[in-house]
Structure 1
């Protein structure tokens, strides 16, 4: 937002020279501490496991500018998935977003009143070109007003585990720019706020729940209202013209942002050979710097880590290969991991991981046994992946955890065998009591 056009071809040429070092150089010996990310805060996340691989002031709250729109995208995609609206639903522009659209200081395509726009076209304008007015139009469509939409934004943030955040409008503009049109209940001097960690949580959940968001976020150019709009994410491959110099292999999202208060910020994501990373840089010095610092983070991820299946689905936990079963045809049930455990492993550190098992106490009787019948696939506990190095944690707030399930059926024993067992236990108890008494005589 408030994106400034380059003044001259000289400026463009200088920018290309500045960015000539953008292409990744191998960082085979680089440590996280030597990255020197020139941003107020930053984070690097394994998008598959949620493991945090690098963090700098990750809990510092800052204005996210148009990165706010990721939450707006989330709620709009939720509404489409729920059937409340569809991509083909049409709506018109009310006076408030029209006034935003008419302000040339804001990022916008120039919307027209008394015209039907489809959700798809407005979403493209928002996600590709960072159009503020289109965002407000969609917010009004989904929630009835931006005020109600902001309530939805904050509720969603809480639901997905964001900690450091505050949403006061849908677009990411400062409320001071909106004046009396700002959402009710928000102050004129308030701004949206997110930390790099919370922004990472938002991006992680957005692409997990709505991977289709990347189809739009990764679009370099599109047609809107008879005009061509170009993505502000210059790191996308195949960008037009001089912007090709910024292209980064595998990049397909996610959202840029800029205001005077926020500086230049960017949430990026790139995938290579099934290995996807999410990056956030906040308050960098320039439009180019946010991409340069993102490239550093991604280079570190792709060069220093390898997506590794540490444990296959069906792996038995050492010393916890089975659980005792009461009232079953078998006395034990084999247990194992429900799914494979895959994460980004730093080069040479494959042996620094192990699993810790925790049984679900609610599934056991007073004797710490499962009770038959036990069905294959029944959850009996969890296994947590433990890294023995410098652990920065998981974006989900805990650790990388998978379910432990029964890997075989254990049928309930018939009434006759259960009765015999009970009789046997009864006489065994008498025998033990008598034996203890006799021992007492001597």
Structure 2
């Protein structure tokens, strides 16, 4: 027989789907796309795929007792429907950050162009958020320096922001500079000179110089005193 030959059997067959979430039953949910049922004695299990309004979830329930279902037939399916109804009503998958809007700013040194530079999140951090309130409920924790030294290039990564909801971390994103900032060479040079004169190295040099000058002064004074005694 060739590879294109087919076997056919006459008759009518009924294929039953045990996933009642996708069939016309009391368990039906429009958002359920498929799943796998399973039973172990007094327990039932279910793994499902659910999608609605562009949001998709995978659910897995194990060891669900029969008394979880008022009808006593499909406890894992009944529990899955209850849980996923709550998930779709309570949460949404949305951006926690807006990459087009600055989230904070930081001071800039050695520039006459600006005193600060605005920082933008590098990622919108798409995540699971409460449907009521959304990103407004997040609390940002910034990890950025107190001051940045010019020059700065737009897009430079200068820190991070970590978002939390009720103390639970939901993610961390890089913070990037929103614009170029040029360096004023005069300010930079003056700052380096000031730093040198206020630095430990300069203080040590001054102390050693004063010590040497003092020793030399004592030496000269001693020579003068010795010479005056000899002339007497």
| TM-score category, normalised to shorter length | 0.5 to 0.7
1:383 aligned partner: 162
1:346 to partner: Cα distance: 5.1
Any gaps of 5 or more consecutive residues in structure 1? 1-224, 237-242, 394-398, 430-442
1:273 aligned partner: 53
Can you list the C-alpha shifts for 1:388-413, whole angstroms capped at 9, x where unaligned?
xxx7x5xxxxx212414224233463
Structure label with greater radius of gyration: 2
Alignment of 1:358 with 2:137, yes or no, is no
Contact 2:152 / 2:177 at 8 angstroms: preserved in 1?
A: no
Which has the larger strand fraction? Answer: 2
Alignment of 1:345 with 2:124, yes or no, is no
1:296 to partner: Cα distance: 0.6
Which has the larger helix fraction? Answer: 1
1:283 to partner: Cα distance: 0.8
Q: 1:327 to 1:254 in 2, by over 3 A?
A: farther
Structure 1: distance between partners of 2:92 and 2:38: 30
2:188 aligned partner: 418
Contact 1:333 / 1:406 at 8 angstroms: preserved in 2?
A: no
2:82 aligned partner: 296
Structure 1: distance between partners of 2:136 and 2:188: 46
Question: Please, what is the CA RMSD of the aligned residues?
Answer: 4.2
TM-score relative to the length of structure 1:
0.33
Alignment of 1:409 with 2:179, yes or no, is yes
Contact 1:314 / 1:338 at 8 angstroms: preserved in 2?
A: no
Alignment of 1:285 with 2:59, yes or no, is no
1:356 to partner: Cα distance: 2.1
Q: 1:331 to 1:232 in 2, by over 3 A?
A: farther
2:213 aligned partner: none
1:282 to partner: Cα distance: 1.6
TM-score relative to the length of structure 2:
0.55
1:128 aligned partner: none
Which has the higher relative contact order, 1 or 2, with Cα contacts under 8 A spaced 6 or more apart? 1
Can you list the C-alpha shifts for 1:272-293, whole angstroms capped at 9, x where unaligned?
2133344332212356211111
SS at match of 2:24: helix
Contact 2:49 / 2:57 at 8 angstroms: preserved in 1?
A: yes
1:250 aligned partner: 31
Number of aligned residue pairs: give it: 179
Any gaps of 5 or more consecutive residues in structure 2? 1-6, 67-72, 200-232
Structure 2: distance between partners of 1:235 and 1:407: 49
2:105 aligned partner: 322
Can you list the C-alpha shifts for 1:264-314, whole angstroms capped at 9, x where unaligned?
212333222133344332212356211111111111222344556665334
Can you list the C-alpha shifts for 1:404-435, whole angstroms capped at 9, x where unaligned?
42242334637565324424666899xxxxxx
Can you list the C-alpha shifts for 1:209-256, whole angstroms capped at 9, x where unaligned?
xxxxxxxxxxxxxxxx999987654423xxxxxx43244212224544
Contact 1:377 / 1:407 at 8 angstroms: preserved in 2?
A: yes
